[in-house]
Structure 1
Amino acid sequence: ISISVFPPSNVCIGRYILNMQITSCGHTYQRCLGDFYVLFNPWCADDPVYMDNQAHREEYVLNEHGILYEGVHKHITSRPWHFGQFEDGILDICLKILDMGASYHHGSDRDHCWRNDPVHVSMVVNHMISSHTTNSIMKIPENNDYLKGTKPFSWNGSVPILQQWYSGRCRPVRYGYCGSLASVMCTVMRCLGIPSRVVTSFCFPCSIENPLGINEIFDSSGKNLCGKDKLWRYHCWNESWMARRDINQCCGDWQCLDPTPLETGRGSACSGPTWVRSIREGELDLDYDGHHMFSRVNSNYVGWLSQNNAKRTKFFCDTWPCGQRLITKSVGSEQFEDITGAYKYELGSVKNKEAYFRAYRRIHPGYCNASNCHIERELSSLKNPFLSDSGINMRLKMANCPMYGEDVQLHWLLENLRNENKTLKFNLCAQIITYSGCPMDQFWKDSVNITLGPREVKKIPLCISYNQYGPYLCDHNIMKVVAVSDPECGEVLMVSRDIVVNRPPVIVKLLSQPRLKVPCTAEISFCNPLQEDMKNCVMTLEGCGLFKEPMTIDLGTLASNQQARTIVEFTPYRLGSHRLLANLGCHKF
């Protein structure tokens, strides 16, 4: 006997048990035929997560391999990530996440009635990823201190994180960062049948006091001081595809979900789901947390010079620099796709201004009846009149793309826009900046007097040696170089550049043709490019369909320019295209 089960499109997702009841001669017997799982179905036109493009379904539901984009907006770096939504046991872990988060929004989960709604499911998953509860999946380190756990940037995939959470009695895994949180959420959502992807935004503001403004404070040497506001160099979140019946959407569209708890004026909280189109249109009262997401891609930036910790001078104001670039992995490609246009209209366009004015009225209740001209005058008043009238144009341009062990080479370009001589004294400095905008050690500073003739252009080379920055560079690999004019000159001018230092590559070479359930060998090699020993070197290998669990190889200490080679054997256990990841960690990174 063949039995087929056709669940309706509005059935609750989860694990079901199929029983058969037989009545014969007045006796009733029950027999368990087995269990099965019901998930959201993006192939079904009646399902709220329906996606009509097959290539998109293959990318956003079936693809186990992703790419995380990091760095800064002028130097975007990437690294692969294993989602692993089809690995053994992951579906049961995902359903356990729904069980543990059932009380969120619902109080009781006895009837599981909310599990047919992707909106509520996404809110529960979003809350469970990294909330401040005792059962959240991952914990973010406080003050960049992760000695009691795993380095946030050492994870290569979601599977070990979810397995560790499940086997550890559902206690938070230590530690993660925005990229790993968004990627774990992407794994859970794809596993449940909801199309999802990871998005990266560069220049991401986190302001507690002013939702549409971000302030950075510098001293007279150019050092970035720690203030209440933080300008994240990049931030990752999740987008999921669904039709929002709660806001009368009849067709699916991308919804923004941010599982990273970010500080707001009312404490820290996760965001979403927020309809991406409502962010672009400034319709902030239409959706969950729309004002948070709008401000984080549309805030204006103000730089302040602090003199003797007392007087502060505004020396730079740039309207709408935040969210300069929003990208995600392209469909069927290893390249990224720029999706900035989905979040905001072209800067300065009529539609861009209309959306901003619309959002401004909702964020600032005192302006709810204000005209567009009134709001525009208010925004213009933020700018210091003399800032654009200094007569000096400056920028810092990279002369090389530095890697660990190499010197950082820059060109400082100055142009006098006036028909008169200009003489200024500049203070220069460099310091480490975390990806979340926390200023750390200042490791280099200098001062120089510059004289520019009428309309003269100068190019001044700057060099920061590895010996200067190497001892301070941390996992984030980001430093900030600043040149600021001495306040005694009367004019306050500044130019800055965020610089990413690339990690040395690990080379993977297959020595035999991979075949299902047949041992395969690969050569992994790495060369220490530093002029010093690399201590505590550990190579981690993993890959969905290739390794059941991550393989670690202790390489010990590698001397300067020493090359390490190791042969590994693995047995592919699933058909398909798979990716072998090799990651090296040491006392330096």
Structure 2
Amino acid sequence: MDELNLKYVNLELLTNQLNHETQGLSSKTLVVRRGRPFKITMHFSGRPFNPDRDVLVFKVLLGDLYVQFSATLSKPQSPSGWSAEIQPGNIAHSQAVTVRIFPPPRFPVGLYHLHLHVLGQSWQHSYMVGEFALLCNPWCPADSVYLPNEDLREEYVKNDFGFLYMGTAKNVESRPWEFGQFEEGILEICLFLLQVSPQHRRNRKSDYLRRADPVYLSRVVCAMINCEDDRGILKGNWSGDYRDGVHPSQWTGSADILKKWAKSQFNPVHYGQCWVFAAVMCTVMRVLGIPSRVVTNFNSAHDTNANLVIEEFYDEMGKKLHKSQDSIWNFHVWVECWMARSDLGSGFDGWQVLDPTPQERSEGIYCCGPSPVRGIKERRLDLIYDIPFVYAEVNADVHTVIVKNGRVLSQSVDKERVGAIICTKSLGSNLPQDVTDTYKYPRAPMRTNETMSTRTRRSNSRLGVNNSFAVSLSLHKAPVAGETIFFSVTVTNKDNVPKTLKEHVNAQAKEFNSSPLDTFWEAHNILQIAPYGVKIITHQIPHSSYEQMLLGDSLVNLAVVMQDLGSHERVLATEEFNIPNPQISIQVADDDSILTKKEHDARLVFRNPYHVAVSGVMTVMGAGLLEGKVQSNVYLQPGDVMEETITFTPKKAGTKMLQASLVFTNSPVVIRGFLTVCVKPA
């Protein structure tokens, strides 16, 4: 019989995924990157393959779109289209033929079907060979997401853990996060996210074609992370009531969220806030092959009326008031993705801001970006997408007003507060990297009498107006949960006459994204100050005053209004600070000799520093170290110490992270701990 029949096809799963840097993304599906060839081996029954008589024609399909191309014995001349090369060898006498298939470097991302047509002189057979996922390729110079450094690719594409930075600019807290892009089923969920998007449902052909462009892909994903316009992944909630879902602070990784979304038939997961939205988007983008990192902007402005001014109001006693639609978040978390921007001209390639937290609409949908970081720094407000909004987040001026019965008593302007620090995880390190200078040029030096210490806030006097006295606040040391907070108010008399001043100082608990709540501590004093004199008033806030008042964010707005009883002049100074929760200590004996496929013990220790008993559930997890999660119940009296040992067996070499979280019962507080370990091959 002269016909050639295909017996089976070997997709060379392990070899291809090793060559394409996709190992671990899927155990079932062939995962390859565009711009790099992958090979398949076809085994025929009956007679051997004859290249002079037999023709192999491949067809790759993405939905209803397809491309056909023939396999040849010569290498492809043009990288712009699909091609296939029959590998040299004793083909004429072999029933196994290996072919290298070349995907173009700028072809749509998605899940493809591969068909084979075998043609003879008077016959032909067609076969469904299998399917493969085609991803972006930051290893390929011709791909628009090319990242020209292996260390950068290792960090921003392959690293499956990281840190989210929270707290305040003066006391940055690290929160461990497991991106989980190598967990079973995550690749498939991320690809299906594209199918669920409104863009795909509205016009399948257009969506498939435009997936070649990471700018388009990133906007689709950004909008799909929140559920405001679509069947997106997460529902945002800043109300404080999370009874019908999960408190945003309790999430520790992206995989649980993505799996819950898919299992529910794509109903939104309750609940997320900015760091959750950003971390999940980072996972999806890394899966798709687009280099990504999570970035935190401290003192992030939400400028609702786009005038680059944020207004804050205080009463005469120093209590912050809810009188403005504008706000300053103590921190706000977004994503940067690396890509070329041929749509903007030269100079705007590189990191792009994408913010999936639903704040304002962009072209009618809740997404933000990609905004080139270079364009934000250059104040190119004319460029797409959403540069004016992000520019305000890092550059807006703060106008502070003291009011009484609707009457303005004092005003001030602060040009330094917003965008105080912008940071991300350092390359190959657990420490934050300051990237503020990529977003902002240094401001012109202030005059000597306007210099602001890194440890104190200057008096909020109107710039260019001389007050007769100055006020500042200063914490004695970084606050610690369970301990008394000590701080000082310093008053400097600039006049040659003595003054009688009245001090009003108060502390309010606050959430990171909103105005403070009620005052939980206050003090009032009368003081005399000599001409050109300096007075320092020391205050202390006992733990008993703040422990029950603080929310999960553990943030405090501290303010002092100093009033001259003679002239009625008022000067306001403010400070927002965080009280970090204690951490769970994780220790591994001989942590420099962690080997794959060998059992190791980790010891977890936590001491209850609070003055009340605590109870909750502790969860330990670690991608590549633990199968699933280890959970245990915890109950501790004040001062009690918890000690537990868990066993883990690393599956593969590399830097991995163990993390533990203790979720308290009937409290938003979450205690955390982490340890990174370097796993060596056995």
Taking structure 1 as the reference length, the TM-score comes to 0.89
Q: Is the 8 A contact 2:486 2:538 kept in 1?
A: yes
Deviates further, 263-272 or 78-87: 263-272
> Does residue 497 of structure 2 align to residue 439 of structure 1?
no
Counterpart position of 2:38: none
User: Do the aligned partners of 1:206 and 1:263 also contact (CA within 8 Å) in 2?
Assistant: no
What are the within-5 Å matches in structure 2 for residues 349-498 of structure 1? 388-486=465-563, 490-498=568-576
- Cα distance between partner residues in 1 of 2:105 and 2:277: 29
Letter in 1 for 2:604: I
**How far, CA to CA, are the matches of 1:46 and 1:544 in structure 2?**
32
CA distance in 2 between partners of 1:247 and 1:124 (Å) = 19
- CA distances 1:192-232 after superposition (whole Å, capped 9, x unpaired): 11111111111111132353110111122211112322111
Structure-to-structure mapping, 1:59-458, within 5 angstroms: 59-103=155-199, 107-110=202-205, 112-227=208-323, 228-249=325-346, 252-263=349-360, 269-308=366-405, 310-319=406-415, 321-348=417-444, 388-458=465-535
The alpha-carbon distance between structure 1 residues 463 and 263, as it changes in their structure 2 partners (threshold 3 A), is farther
Give me the whole-angstrom Cα distance separating, in 2, the residues matched to 1:349 and 1:44: 43
Match of 2:647 among 545, 562, 569: 569
Q: What is the CA–CA distance in structure 2 between the aligned matches of 1:539 and 1:404, rounded to whole Å?
A: 19
Deviation at 1:126, TM superposition (A): 0.5
Deviations 1:413-458, CA, capped at 9 Å, x for gaps: 2222232212211211100111103321310112111222122222
- 8 Å contact kept, 1:416–1:452: yes
The 8 Å contact of residues 222 and 429 in structure 1, kept in 2 or not, is answered as yes
- After superposition, the Cα gap between the structure-2 partners of 1:321 and 1:268, relative to the gap in structure 1 and judged at 3 Å, is farther
- Between the aligned partners of 1:415 and 1:343, the Cα distance in structure 2 is 35
Rg comparison, structure with higher value: 2
Aligned to 1:542: 621
Q: Deviations over 1:124-147 (max 9, x none)?
A: 011011141351111111422212
398-407 or 508-517, which moves further after superposition? 508-517
Counterpart amino acid of residue 57 in structure 1: R
Q: Secondary structure at the match of 1:440?
A: coil
1:4 aligns with 2:100: yes
Deviations, residues 351-398 of structure 1 (Å, cap 9, x unaligned): xxxxxxxxxxxxxxxxxxxxxxxxxxxxxxxx9869832132222111
Shift of 1:486: 4.2
Summarize deviations over 1:152-211 as a string: whole Å, max 9, x none.
Answer: 112221111111111121111111111121111111111111111111111111132353
Name the stretch that deviates more: 285-294 or 565-574.
565-574
Letter in 2 for 1:44: C
Q: Aligned partner of 2:494: which letter?
A: L
8 Å CA contact 1:539, 1:583 repeated in 2: yes
Count the aligned residue pairs. Answer: 553
Aligned pair in 2 of structure 1 residues 113, 280: CA closer, same or farther (>3 Å)? same
Q: Compute the RMSD of aligned alpha carbons.
A: 2.4
**Structure 1 residue 283: deviation in Å?**
1.2
Give how far 1:511 is off: 5.0
Shift of 1:266: 11
Whole-Å separation in 1 of the counterparts to 2:359 and 2:409:
28
Equivalent position SS for 1:304: strand
What secondary structure, in the 3-state scheme, does the structure 2 residue paired with 1:103 have? helix
SS across alignment from 1:395: strand
Unmatched 5+ stretches in structure 1: 351-382
Q: Distance in 2 between matches of 1:495 and 1:414?
A: 10
Higher relative contact order (Cα pairs below 8 Å, separated by 6+ residues): 1
CA distance in structure 2 between the aligned counterparts of 1:384 and 1:501, rounded to whole angstroms: 28
SS at the partner of 1:110? Answer: helix
2:609 pairs with 1:532: no
Change (3 A) 1:249 1:554: farther
3-state SS of paired residue (1:262):
coil
Equivalent residue, structure 2, for 1:553: 632
Inter-CA distance 387–409: structure 2 relative to 1 (3 Å threshold): farther
CA distance in 2, matches of 1:5, 1:264: 42
How far apart are residue 37 of structure 1 and its match? Answer: 1.7
Distance in 2 between the 1:68 and 1:225 partners?
A: 30
Alpha-carbon separation, structure 2, partners of 1:266 and 1:7: 32
CA distance in 1, matches of 2:517, 2:640: 31
Question: Aligned partners of 2:410, 2:306: CA distance in 1, in Å?
Answer: 16
Task: Please say if residues 208 and 264 of structure 1, whose CA atoms lie closer than 8 Å, have aligned partners that are also in contact.
Answer: no
The 3 A distance-change label for structure 1 pair 344 and 218 is: same
CA contact (8 A) 2:461 2:467 kept: no
Amino acid at match of 1:169: Q
How far 1:500 sits from its partner (Å)? 0.9
Q: Is the 8 A contact 1:441 1:472 kept in 2?
A: no
Counterparts in 2 of 1:65 and 1:534: CA distance versus 1, 3 Å = same
Report the Cα distance in structure 2 between the residues aligned to 1:94 and 1:402, rounded to whole angstroms. Answer: 41
**Matches of 1:571 and 1:73, distance apart in 2:** 38
Distance between the aligned counterparts of 1:265 and 1:119, measured in 2? 14
* CA distance 1:25–1:9, shift in 2 (3 Å): closer
TM-score, normalised to structure 2's length? 0.77
